[in-house]
Amino acid sequence: MSTATLAPTTAPRAGDAPAAPSLLRLVRVELRKTYDTRAGFWLLLVVALAALTVVTLQMLFAEEPDKTFAMFVGTTQLPVNLLLPVVGILLVTSEWSQRTAMTTFTLVPARSRVLTAKVIVGVLLGLLGTVAALLASALGALLTPILTTDATDWGISAGHLAQVALLQVLTILIGVAFGMLLLSSPLAIVLYFVLPTVVTIVANTVGALAWVRDWLDQATTMAPMFEGLLSSGEDWARLATTVALWLVAPMVAGWIRIIRSEIG
Amino acid sequence: MITVEHLTKRYGAQLAVSDVSFSCAPGTVTGFLGPNGAGKSTTLRAVCGLTLPTSGTTAVAGRPYRELPNAGRHVGVLLDAGAQHAGRTGRETLALAALVQGVARSRVDEVLQQVGLAGKPAGKRVGKYSLGMRQRLGLAMALLGEPQVLVLDEPANGLDPEGIFWMRGLLRGFADRGGTVLLSSHLLREVEAVADQLVVIAGGRIVAQGSSEELLASTGTLVRARDRAALTGALAAAGIGVTPGPADALIADGPAEAVGIAAATGGVPLLELRPAGGDRLEELFRSLTDPTAGAAAAADRQIQETSA
């Protein structure tokens, strides 16, 4: 600290106009922010370890019919699906809890560009999470005949893979949307886990709310995607209404709030 | 160049900033002074596009901050040294900002060197930094994009005397090379040594504004006698106005010679007779920070002076 120098800065330049950072650049920055802190790094590591743990347990202790690649895929996506939305929430809320929003939005005053970059990062992380879970599943399917006496089966449908990937992307984006709406890590994380569960319980016990269960309950309309079970047009319509409530609505409201709000 | 025109910001019923106008020219340092809660930070946040004014406009380099394509390359901003992620290292914090602005990675090491955080401190997490180190990191952030304008909110907070001296040199050098500096402080002494221009704000309004020379110049004569009432009478008889000065002294509104002659004529022995220095600004400033000291009266007096 005492070595502070008075070395002159480069002279302030005349008013040339440096280009605005491209969206790709902002996406790189936002992606890097998810793993360059201790908390972010460990969270991502835990996601990967959880997928590996699930594979190991399933490989060593599950009954024989559970050893297919498709079944591994169904189970490895679960821990990823549980934890990745937290990464999505923190992607937004840490800017407020750590107050870095001030720096972020003074460097990029066009706030929508930053938010767009964060949503794209959410999509990328959802896809990366899917790939990580697929790799863990492949490892399980590969090692099953080597480490155990059971057989394995590599068959999986493209539809199943697509639904799993879509599910991961949608869930992390729900996390991002909760973060945008609430701008508080603990509040967003608690409500993200509690609200859908409450809706599931209420909608399944109160008979008059059967329409809520059928059209708005994540456990009913989204969870079957783990197994690639969405098939009819109505299934997809139910997914769409659920996504509109849990993802689109909070994201739009949060987006508007962030654009208008005072930072700092 | 920074321009603030008729800036007003209202939060519900509370008026945080009211009709504030000033401008900062290239090559100068502007000290933005006021007690805590006077509206300094709100004004600076409005300048940096973080807060939308209720009315009025702000512009940096000729346009609203929000329309700067790559803001960090025009304006270096340090509004709150605490607003950095505690889990990132100092170097990583700067590396992210360098990536956003598209400046070379080598700039990160340059500014770390410049603010005295090169080497070991750069690799430490910001959570482990002292307030002084955070201020240095904040200055490094502000300087990173080689901007022409610096906006700094209380940058001397947490710096030791050596650090404050160093920062003055840095800001002076920046302005002398044609840059524009706007820095706020709640301490007059902190900025008077470096500022070319002073803007004093209290209760959301500008109460004094002008060049430092003008505002800090001798604004009267400090005179003290054992019998204060007799002295007041003698000066009044000579047509010299007075205001209460520090302790039992008076600030007479006239040159020392006239004051001395008036006292001699009135037969009042003097204990002290000297130019009042910048005491009026300091007095004004002290009265602003202490609401019981008649801030309004002092403010009115000062406004008359600056508009005269």
Average confidence (pLDDT) over A124-135:
94
CA distance A79 to A49: 9
- Total of domains in chain B: 2
Would you state the pLDDT for residue B218?
61
Q: Which residues of B touch A28 (CB under 8 A)?
A: 99
Domain that holds residue B80: 2-215
Q: Which residues of B touch A257 (CB under 8 A)?
A: none
Q: Report the candidate in A232, A202, A231, A230 with the shortest Cα–Cα distance to residue A216.
A: A202
Mean pLDDT rounded to a whole number for chain B: 88
Query: Looking at chain B, which residue has its C-alpha nearest residue A16?
Result: B74
Does residue B298 surpass a pLDDT of 50? no
Q: Report the candidate in A51, A242, A99, A16 with the shortest Cα–Cα distance to residue B87.
A: A99
Q: Is residue B303 part of a domain?
A: no
Would you state the pLDDT for residue B175?
96
Would you state the pLDDT for residue B290?
64
Cβ <8 Å between B166 and A6: yes
Q: Report the candidate in A184, A200, A44 with the shortest Cα–Cα distance to residue A126.
A: A44
Q: Which residues of A touch B118 (CB under 8 A)?
A: 3
Q: What is the residue whose two structure tokens read 């000291």?
A: B293
Q: Are residues B24 and B39 in the same domain?
A: yes
Q: Which residues of A touch B72 (CB under 8 A)?
A: 106-107
Cβ <8 Å between A36 and B96: yes
Alpha carbons within 13 A on the beta-carbon side of B307: 8
Q: CA A227, A231, A235, A240 torsion: positive or negative?
A: positive
Q: Are residues B180 and B240 in the same domain?
A: no
Cβ <8 Å between A18 and B163: no
Q: Is residue B131 part of a domain?
A: yes
Q: Are residues B208 and B226 in the same domain?
A: no
The nearest CA of chain A is from the CA of B35 a distance in Å of 19
Q: Per-residue pLDDT tens for B61-118?
A: 889 999 999 999 999 999 999 999 999 999 999 999 999 999 999 999 999 999 999 9
Cβ <8 Å between A3 and B116: yes
Q: Are residues B140 and B225 in the same domain?
A: no
**Does residue B252 contact residue B238 with C-beta atoms inside 8 Å?**
no
Q: Are residues B92 and B123 in the same domain?
A: yes
Q: Are residues B155 and B205 in the same domain?
A: yes
Q: Are residues B24 and B167 in the same domain?
A: yes
Average confidence (pLDDT) over B50-60:
95
Strands B242-244 and B221-225: unpaired
Q: Are residues B144 and B246 in the same domain?
A: no
Q: Are residues B115 and B171 in the same domain?
A: yes
Query: Looking at chain A, which residue has its C-alpha nearest residue B144?
Result: A9
Q: Is residue B300 part of a domain?
A: no
The nearest CA of chain A is from the CA of B179 a distance in Å of 6
**Both ends of chain A: CA-CA distance in Å?**
28
CA distance B228 to B243: 12
Q: Per-residue pLDDT tens for B197-245?
A: 999 999 999 988 988 877 776 667 888 888 888 888 898 888 888 888 7
Q: Are residues B198 and B59 in the same domain?
A: yes
Cβ <8 Å between A108 and B100: yes
Q: Are residues B266 and B155 in the same domain?
A: no
Does residue B293 surpass a pLDDT of 80? no
DSSP state of B302: H
Please tell me which residue, A67 or B300, carries the higher pLDDT value.
Answer: A67
Q: Is B181 exposed, middle or buried (0-12, 13-18, 19+ CB in 10 A)?
A: buried
Does residue A14 surpass a pLDDT of 70? no
**Does residue A37 contact residue B85 with C-beta atoms inside 8 Å?**
yes
Query: What is the pTM (predicted TM-score) of this model?
Result: 0.84
Percent of chain A residues past pLDDT 70, beyond the cut: 92
| pLDDT range class, residue A145, cuts 50, 70, 90 | confident
Give the CATH number of the domain where residue B264 resides.
3.30.70
Give the CATH number of the domain where residue B20 resides.
3.40.50.300
Cβ <8 Å between A100 and B41: no
Would you state the pLDDT for residue A207?
86
Which of A9, A32, A100 lies closest to B83 in CB terms?
A100
Q: Of the residues B215, B240, B258, which one is the last residue of a structural domain?
A: B215
Percent of chain B residues past pLDDT 90, beyond the cut: 61
Average confidence (pLDDT) over B251-263:
86
Give the domain ranges of chain A.
23-260
Q: Per-residue pLDDT tens for A165-187?
A: 999 999 999 999 999 999 999 99
Q: Is residue B307 part of a domain?
A: no
Q: Which residues of A touch B169 (CB under 8 A)?
A: 6
Q: Which phi and psi angles does B22 have, rounded to 5°?
A: -165, 165
Strands B14-24 and B2-11: antiparallel
Q: Are residues B100 and B153 in the same domain?
A: yes
**Does residue B135 contact residue B158 with C-beta atoms inside 8 Å?**
yes
DSSP string covering chain A = -TT---PPPPPPPP---PPPPPHHHHHHHHHHHHHSSHHHHHHHHHHHHHHHHHHHHHHHHS-GGGGBHHHHHHHHHHHHHHHHHHHHHHHHHHHHHS-THHHHHHH---HHHHHHHHHHHHHHHHHHHHHHHHHHHHHHHHHHHHHSS---B----HHHHHHHHHHHHHHHHHHHHHHHHH--HHHHHHHHHHHHHHHHHHHHH-GGGHHHHHHH-HHHHTGGGGGT---SHHHHHHHHHHHIIIIIHHHHHHHHHHHHSPP-
